[in-house]
Amino acid sequence: MKLLLECYSSNENYNGGCDFAFVDLTPELAAIALRRIADFAQLKMGDAMALEIYYWDDSCDWIETSEKIQELTDGYSGDVVEAESFEPTKDSKQRTECDQMIVEEYGIRWTAIPKHTDVYVTTLTIPVEMIVRATKAQPFAQGGSHD
């Protein structure tokens, strides 16, 4: 499941060219995310003050807005957009560091620092329901399917 996620910056006037993030939410990545969400649920049961967990993870490409992205996201402001026909170009990808997956009880999102900046960019959250759907979207590499 290929997704475009709108991004937000810690600086309202600058995002280092990271307007969107592209995530290829494969069944394998979805399974990792669901395991991490389950691990977080266990942590939260023992400590109600836990809000989220961060993992080093560069599973998404941070990209600038393009004409194709505008077409795909038209009318979807604030939503996760399924974009199966989209593949980011090398020129649209932004260089980032400290890329992390943020896991919370409702889903996952990413944060990073665009290279040579002091701002953080963060994606919208991919809800658990969409992650579950991604585990069933394609066969696993081992040849079986996860139902």
Structural domain boundaries, residue 124: 2-135
Q: What is the mean pLDDT of residues 52-72?
A: 92
147 located within any domain = no
> Tokens 């090398």 map to which residue?
90
The model's confidence at residue 137, banded by pLDDT at 50, 70 and 90, is: low
93 located within any domain = yes
Q: What is the mean pLDDT of residues 114-136?
A: 95
Looking at the DSSP bridge assignments, the partners of residue 21 are 5, 62
Q: What is the mean pLDDT of residues 74-87?
A: 83
Name the nearest CA neighbour of 60 among 83, 35, 38. Answer: 83
Kindly tell me if the per-residue pLDDT of 116 is higher than 80: yes
83 located within any domain = yes
The model's confidence at residue 102, banded by pLDDT at 50, 70 and 90, is: very high
Domain count, the chain: 1
142 located within any domain = no
40 with 104: CB under 8 angstroms?
A: yes
Could you tell me the pTM of the whole model?
Answer: 0.86
